[in-house]
Structure 1
Amino acid sequence: MRQLYINGTWTASVSGEGIDVVNPATEEIIDRVPAGAPGDVDAAASAARAAFRSWSGTAAEERGKLLATASDLLRQRADDIARVIATDMGAPYGFALKVQTLLPATVMAGYAHLAESHPRERRVGNSLVLKEPVGVVGAITPWNYPLHQIVCKVAPALAAGCTVVLKPSEVAPLAAYALAEIFHEIGLPPGVFNLVSGAGPVVGEAIASHPAVDMVSFTGSTLAGRRVAALASESVKKVALELGGKSANLVLPGADLAAAVKVGVANAFVNSGQTCSALSRMIVHRDDYDQAVRLAVEAARKYTVGDPFDEGTRLGPLVSARQRDRVVRYINRGQEEGARLVTGGTETVHERGFYVEPTVFAGVEPGMVIEQEEIFGPVLSIIPFIGVDQAVTIADGTPYGLAGAVWGETEQAAIAVARRLRTGQVSINGGAFNPQAPFGGYKQSGIGRELGEEGLEEYFETKALQL
């Protein structure tokens, strides 16, 4: 069994218990990590607190150099780490390499630069306004992007001068261990980064409520986010939450329908649909609806489901039996509600592994469960609209507001509608994801932002000196 990483040392959990790591493609146990206990969190938080003063006083240039070195090592080991991610959470290898590993290396490099270049003070009248690190950060991360979501929290926290206690998802924890090994090798001072694996209700809750933790940054479900926020509120911690989504791909009349559907389907199914910002709802004008459905079915049927290491695979398994069963229940619910299943469904794809076919529903009406709730699987709902006002109402008609897309006849037409949407980021006519731009949501999709300068700002407190 692996160990925890606390105060610069690999150490056994006080619990003495472990959690099996399962390959979702084969259902085989591939590793075992400690089931951390509150005592482990206490040791990690104490180490982080003790290291904070020295680390926060380290020159920004030195912190930046260490992050740059970590980024370089991530790139050098990208193939091995991508294979680890493909094995413990099921992402196709090519996706695991490009998005799950090399993208985090790019994000890390970006924060290496911002550690040195981001301004920490400014004059306002007779005041000097300072940005200072918030302190000890508890980072609680999910399984769907098991390295990227860690780097999106840990890199800006370290760049700001904070110390970190990380709890990775126990479902897919192995990338976190690879990162911890890199931090150890580059000589990150003891206590600056600590890793405590374990279950959310035990380790996550201990982090959120620990008095030595100054801030909690959580990514996961909205339900779990509410619990984290409630626990953190007892000691008035700063909280950043990146939660669920039910994002809309809104296709206006006159837009390039073929491109909008092709890109929209790809986004809905990326990472087997296990993406909080997935465009899981396609909203199409009534006049284009039937054609959009046909195009979506054609596109979906090109997504080969299979072994993550097979070059022809475009959809790997879902991460666990629990997640597969959840998605199957939603597919059944959609049919019960009267939506029309036009491709995919709940048939067994392979004898072993937690697979679900790429699934498309037509005849979906606003208010249906599959239109309102985050499914977190390869399931796309296509919804018709008549006027733009109705389309905006449908797009904004869920509790979420994380992402979205608008396709228009012109960029200006699409931007005009995108400005009306209550969501954190919108792709315009297929605009690509930008890791330097802020990422986060409105409404129940969260509080705060990750990535870019805004992501760094989350880890600062503000102090004013009156001169």
Structure 2
Amino acid sequence: MTIEIRPKPSADLKLREFSMLIGGSWGKGAEGRTIERIAPSHGVTVSRYQAATRADAERAISVARQAFDTGPWPRMTASERSRILLKVADLIADRAEELAFLDAIEAGKPISQVRGEIAGSVDIWRYAAALARDLHGESYNTLGDGTLGVVLREAVGVVSIITPWNFPFLIVGQKLPFALAAGCTTVVKPSELTSGSTLVLGEILLEAGVPEGVVNIIVGTGAEVGPTLTSHPDVDMVSFTGSTGVGRLTMANAAQTLKKVSLELGGKNPQIVFPDCDLEAFVDAAVFGAYFNAGECCNAGSRLILHKSIAGDVVARVAELSKKVKVGDPLDPSTQVGAIITPQHLDKISRYVSGAMEGGATMAHGGGALDLGLGQFMAPTILSDVKPDMAVAREEVFGPVLSVLTFETLDEAIRIANSVDYGLSAGVWSRDFDTCLTIGRKVRAGTVWMNTFMDGASELPFGGYKQSGLGRELGRHAVEDYTETKTLNMHIGNRTGWWMPR
């Protein structure tokens, strides 16, 4: 049985009220409506946000446009912007526990995990601050005596940043500091389920010295404000993280004015396991990859593609370790898997599991919801005898569900890995360097881990192939995504042409 940690009584969870940030001022929405967030782990209302309307989105965009066109931020030196971003990082570190609590209680994430995410975000802000000073263009003095070419990198302009509920603070940290480093102004819309930490970030940005109007933060549903943020002519770029389905809508909206688009979408990520690997290390990574963040993670290692000769042994080992995973109260530091984001999402996960069972899959561990007295929780689940054409093997379940498939040859493993619409990440486990490198070269994914899984660093680009998205976040080129290139072609000396003597 999975270890269960029952949520403690919720009497000490106080309701927190939030306003929206537009033009450096905190206030209510145009219609005064609110959105309430019920903690998925405790079943009580913990946050109340101002609900943005289309009018609020348009006002935020107008303010961001003015801040870009006439304000100081794009005209500051790189070193000035860098110093402010470093101050933001310091202030995030100072308020880390407050931010961790908000993400834990609003998203149902284990607080020990969120503390690590906040620390990772601090590192990203500092990395972006360094890149601000490294952003540069090019010069070409090899075009002949009469020509000098200079290529400039200029901030793209106003950026709509739309972030999901599963990593509220970390994902805004993968976008916003790089946009600011480039000199852009922004309108940020966090998920209406988990907006608290992003709104606290707004307080931090103002305290750090980010000028008014450079970062505007509104909370609203995708249906209410999404079309405005993604199609408004005064928005120059959209950076979106979320489901592939909503990513398609985002791209279609942005196409109306041919905006630049960055999309980080879904994944159905395989771990390919060969008989010669370090099985003990792999089993730990398999459990981590499947259940981290309750599987509500685009990078989740939700498909195990095991060599047939070891499949039975590996499934037994993974199931045995899964029994030790602690599920329950996200505020308990020992919890490893927290609550599922909403009751509706728990039902969706359960339907994937039941559908797989009806199709002939075998339940190797878990399989259902857990009744812990408060909130909604799902047992870590392993499905073996899964076929590649099953929905649970092809679609993003976004829950703590591990699908097990088998292969006999390396080519078959690659074919199974590449058979889905996604290409975000993958893993390969083998002591043979040739095997790892072959998988790394032939699997179509933005990241391929070799003998590890879900490691990362601010320096390493992140993004996917196929329907996992467009563009890359993080890495030394992340700031460049928020720029346009401009060529200055300079002629030296007399101009000659059609109507001038040569």
**Fold match by TM threshold 0.5:** yes
Aligned to 2:480: 457
Offset of residue 347 of structure 1: 4.0
Q: Which residue type is aligned with residue 456 of structure 1? A: V
Alpha-carbon offset, residue 411 of structure 1: 3.7
- The 3-state SS of whatever aligns with 1:305 is strand
Per the alignment, residue 10 of structure 2 pairs with none
Q: 1:75: how far off?
A: 0.9
Deviates more, 1:232-241 or 1:47-56: 47-56
Is 2:445 aligned against 1:413?
Answer: no
Segments of structure 1 that go 5 or more residues without pairing to the other structure are none
CA distance in 1 between partners of 2:289 and 2:278 (Å): 16
CA contact (8 A) 2:440 2:448 kept: yes
* Equivalent residue, structure 2, for 1:251: 273
Counterpart residue number, 1:305: 327
List aligned pairs for 1:68-467, cutoff 5 A: 68-99=86-117, 101-123=118-140, 125=142, 126-430=148-452, 432-467=455-490
**Secondary structure at the counterpart of residue 360 of structure 1:** strand
Give the letter aligned to residue 66 of structure 1.
Answer: I
76-85 or 106-115, larger mean C-alpha shift: 76-85
- Using the alignment, how far apart are the partners of 1:203 and 1:105 within structure 2? 29
Local SS of the residue matching 1:212: coil
For the aligned residue pairs, the C-alpha RMSD in angstroms reads: 1.2
Q: Secondary structure at the match of 1:226?
A: helix
Change (3 A) 1:229 1:410: same
Q: C-alpha displacement at 1:354, in angstroms?
A: 1.4
Corresponding residue number in structure 2 for 1:39 = 55
Residues 231-268 of structure 1: per-residue CA shift (max 9 Å, x gap): 11001111010000000011123111221122122011
Alpha-carbon distance between aligned partners in 2 of 1:354 and 1:436, rounded to the nearest angstrom: 36
Q: Is it true that 1:56 corresponds to 2:74 in the alignment? A: yes
Look up the equivalent residue of 1:18 and give its one-letter code: T
Q: Distance in 2 between matches of 1:123 and 1:170?
A: 48
Secondary structure of 2:378's counterpart equals coil
AA in 2 matched with 1:109: R
SS where residue 451 of structure 1 aligns?
Answer: coil
Provide the rounded CA distance (Å) in 2 between the counterparts of 1:187 and 1:459.
Answer: 21
SS in 1 for 2:262: strand
Larger radius of gyration: 2
Query: In structure 1, what is the Cα distance between the partners aligned to 2:433 and 2:372?
Result: 43
Please report how far the alpha carbon of residue 122 of structure 1 lies from its aligned counterpart in structure 2 after TM superposition: 3.7
Cα deviation, 1:428-452, whole Å, max 9, x if unaligned, reads 1116322211000000000000012
- Counterpart-to-counterpart distance in 2, 1:228 and 1:417: 32
Distance in 1, matches of 2:372 and 2:139, equals: 60
* 8 A Cα contact 1:411 1:428, kept in partner: no
State how far apart, in whole Å, the 1-side matches of 2:399 and 2:481 are.
Answer: 30
Structure 2: tracts of 5 or more residues without a match: 1-16, 143-147, 491-502
| Structure-1 residue corresponding to 2:18 | 2
Would you say how many aligned residue pairs link Structure 1 and Structure 2?
Answer: 466
Cα deviation for residue 71 of structure 1 reads: 0.4
State the TM-score, normalized to the length of structure 2.
0.91
Tell me the percent identity: 39
Which of 31, 37, 45 lines up with 1:29 in the alignment?
45
User: Where does residue 31 of structure 2 map in the other structure?
Assistant: 15
Contact 1:196 1:203 in 2 (8 A): no
Judge conservation of contact 2:459–2:474 (CA < 8 Å) in 1: yes
- Preserved contact between residue 262 and residue 295 of structure 1 (Cα < 8 Å): no
TM score, norm. by length of structure 1: 0.98
Shift in CA distance, 202/124, structure 1 to aligned 2, threshold 3 Å: farther
- Distance (whole Å) between structure 2 residues aligned to residue 411 and residue 91 of structure 1: 36
Q: Quick one: distance in 2 between partners of 1:120 and 1:17?
A: 46
Instruction: Report the 3-state secondary structure (helix = DSSP H, G, I; strand = E; otherwise coil) of the residue aligned with 1:419.
Output: helix
Cα deviations by residue, 1:186-218 (Å, 9 ceiling, x for unpaired) = 121111000011001111221001111000000
**Amino acid of the structure 2 residue aligned with 1:457:** E
